[in-house]
Amino acid sequence: MRTPTVATAALCLAWALVLVPAFPQGHSSPGTGPPKSPGASHGSRCGDESLNDTDTLRRCADDGAFDAVALDEKGRMLFFKGDEVWKGSHGRPEPINATWPELGSGPVDAAFRIHHKSSSVHDSLYLFQGEQVWVYTDGKLCSGYPRAIGDEFKGVPGHLDSAVECHPEECQAEGIIFFKGSDVYWYDLSTGQLKQRAWMQVGNCSAALRWLERYYCFQGLRFLRFNPLSGDVPPHRHPRDSFICCPGRGHGHAAHHNATFHAPMDRCSGLPLQAFASDDKGRLYAFRQGYYFRLDSRRDGWHAWPLSHTWAGLEGEVDATFIWENFMYIIQGSQVSIYREDQGHALVQGYPKGLQEELGILGADAAFTCPGSPLLYVIQGSSMQQVD
Ligand SMILES: *[C@@H]1O[C@H](CO)[C@@H](O)[C@H](O)[C@H]1NC(C)=O
Ligand SMILES: *[C@@H]1O[C@H](CO)[C@@H](O)[C@H](O)[C@H]1NC(C)=O
Ligand SMILES: *[C@@H]1O[C@H](CO)[C@@H](O)[C@H](O)[C@H]1NC(C)=O
Ligand SMILES: *[C@@H]1O[C@H](CO)[C@@H](O)[C@H](O)[C@H]1NC(C)=O
């Protein structure tokens, strides 16, 4: 039983290799032109804007904050401010009416993307202005819109501050969270019921966003991550994190205070990704230097985060990773750290430990497990070894 079935091993390897070309190694054109590949536009080319760039200054001004933030049908993040929209985390804004000509002039109050009730195939973008809501599918206004917000979502007030969709995985039902001042509403899409939430820690959100199963309330350029069921706010690890590229802010800048281009965070920089891991829920991580990317959700765009954003205290280069029964093993040099994936990525007590002590190996360039098999395959140099 210890002999690996060659076919399985080969299959797993093929799976691992297929990921590499799936992750575009494009060229990173400097400058501010709109990104070419639509699904690939939410990259992290932070810092390629200089401090005296008026576009950057306008986007990064703390004054008015964003009116709304949402993902579009292609996984690109939209940032609405005044009568302009930034598509992706860098570059120049466009007039809102160039993309959504039916909207009135002035700001968008709230926005989210969700499956339209009458269609299970298409994602739709909902845009709110004043007392009305506009619904776009494939970039086209759906018939019957704009509609009064109260007709579309019974009981929901006009002149909202923000709104975000919540999925059954996180909210136990499909619904929308609406914010107006310090009032928070939960609208259940399947029952049409509206409930007010008494949340102490979350409110006054100028914009709200669901991104990679996490929920964010923007207050100015800062944001709070919140639990969409309880309204709790987990301890904030990166108070200066930002979703957008501002000199001296967010992304790697939290760690580096360096507003120049940071290649490891640019998924198109062509630098090699050093490790991959996938969990039972189909989440797929890629590691490069001190950062990770979530790759499984093209729909939600791609974005680099410091390792410690998910795995508390983790820093530096990751040589190899694998997930085994809800534990994430992260191999760095001769050490291995183990995190509980089902308990908020908490570090298991007593780790990191020596790799030899834990797994009986000296080092690893790559490691993977195969579904239904108790074997761990470790690749080092040109050899592969199995660990039971
Ligand atoms: C920023 O300032 C530098 C030096 O004054 C100048 O060379 C550069 O063109 C400016 N950049 C922009 C985008 O205005
Ligand atoms: C968009 O709005 C601006 C002013 O807010 C106006 O000058 C322009 O013609 C509008 N463009 C379209 C396509 O409606
Ligand atoms: C929202 O703003 C109001 C008025 O400034 C304040 O009383 C309330 O505590 C704020 N709520 C939150 C959750 O920040
Ligand atoms: C900023 O970071 C880049 C890339 O890490 C580095 O090459 C550069 O020297 C840094 N600049 C400053 C001023 O620290």
Assess if residue 252 is contained within a domain: no
Atom 4 of ligand 1: nearest residue by CA position: 52
Q: How many CB atoms lie within 10 A of CB 101?
A: 9
**210 and 117 belong to one structural domain:** yes
Candidate of 49, 50, 56 to mutate for ligand 1, largest count of ligand atoms within 8 Å of Cβ: 50
Ligand nearest 184 Cα, by number?
3
Please tell me the distance from the alpha carbon of residue 143 to that of residue 138, in angstroms, as a whole number: 13
- Same domain (yes/no): 288, 380: yes
Pocket lining: 52 vs ligand 1, CB cutoff 6 Å: yes
Please work out whether the CB of residue 262 comes within 6 Å of at least one atom of ligand 4. Answer: yes
- Per the domain annotation, does 253 fall within a domain? no
Mutate to test the pocket of ligand 2, among 80, 81, 97, 105 (most ligand atoms within 8 A of CB): 97
Which of 206, 241, 276 represents a domain boundary (last residue)? Answer: 241
Query: Could you tell me where the beta strands, DSSP code E, fall in 53-193?
Result: 68-71, 77-81, 84-87, 94-95, 110-115, 123-129, 132-137, 140-141, 147-148, 162-166, 175-180, 183-188
pLDDT at residue 8, rounded to an integer = 37
Please state, in angstroms and rounded to a whole number, the distance separating the CA atoms of residues 388 and 386.
6
Token digits of residue 254? 């939290």
Ligand 1 atom closest to the Cα of residue 51 is 1
The answer to the question of residue 1 being in a domain is no
In whole angstroms, give the CA distance from residue 124 to residue 215.
19
* 343 and 213 fall within a common domain: no
Give the per-residue pLDDT at 42: 32
- Residue 272: which of 283, 259, 263 has the closest Cα? 263
Residue 221 is predicted with a pLDDT of 62
DSSP tag of 271: P
The CB of 220 under 6 Å from ligand 3? The reply is no
CA nearest to 148, candidates 163, 137, 158, 139: 158
Per-residue pLDDT at 87: 83
For residue 119, being part of any structural domain is answered with yes
Residue 285, in any domain of the structure: yes
53 CB within 6 A, ligand 2? no
Domain of 16: which CATH number? 2.110.10.10
What is the CA(224)–ligand 3 centre distance, in A?
14
Count of structural domains within the chain: 2
Intervals of the chain under pLDDT 50: 1-52, 237-241, 248-261
197 and 281 inside one domain: no
> Are 274 and 235 within one domain?
no
Per the structure, the complete domain to which residue 215 belongs is given by: 54-241
In a domain, 47, yes or no: no
Query: Can you tell me which atom of ligand 3 is nearest the CA of 203?
Result: 13
Q: Is residue 175 part of a domain?
A: yes
- Whole-angstrom distance, CA of residue 362 vs CA of residue 14: 25
pLDDT of residue 261: 42
What tokens were used for 312? 């508390």
Q: pTM surpassing 0.75?
A: no
The distance from CA 346 to its chain's CA centroid, rounded to whole angstroms, is 20
Q: Is residue 81 part of a domain?
A: yes
- 105 Cβ inside 6 Å of ligand 2: yes
Question: Is the same domain home to 197 and 274?
Answer: no
Which pLDDT value is given to residue 299? Answer: 66
